[in-house]
């Protein structure tokens, strides 16, 4: 397989939008790797189950507990 071959991946959370992966020798962001973790999280409901165990007693928060848990987890995974 040559370096210029392109693969097409389909993720469950974006069925109408194919994701194209093309290997290159340049330094690029690795944030796209989080898409795999996002799909796994949605299938396993890991962060949803974790967020349900937390008690947020603020009166009118801007973000849900689930949004904050996902933001923190994915921030850690992204390094």
Q: Identify the pLDDT of residue 25.
A: 72
CA distance 9 to 17: 10
Place of tokens 């690795």: 30
Cα atoms found within 13 Å of the Cα of residue 14, Cβ hemisphere only: 12
Helix, strand, coil content of the chain in percent (nearest 5): 45, 10, 50
- Overall pTM > 0.75: no
In this prediction, the residues of the chain whose per-residue pLDDT falls under 50 are: 1, 3
Quote the pLDDT of residue 40: 87
Per-residue pLDDT, 8? 62
Q: In angstroms, what CA-CA distances link 55 with 8, 51, 59, 61, 75?
A: 41, 8, 12, 12, 21
């Amino acid at each position: 397989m040559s370096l210029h071959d392109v693969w097409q991946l389909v993720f469950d959370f974006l069925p109408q939008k194919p994701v194209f992966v093309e290997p290159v020798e340049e330094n690029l962001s690795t944030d796209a790797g989080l898409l795999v973790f996002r799909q796994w999280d949605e299938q396993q409901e890991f962060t949803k189950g974790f967020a349900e165990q937390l008690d947020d007693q603020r009166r009118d928060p801007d973000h849900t507990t689930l949004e904050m848990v996902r933001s923190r987890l994915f921030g850690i995974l992204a390094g």
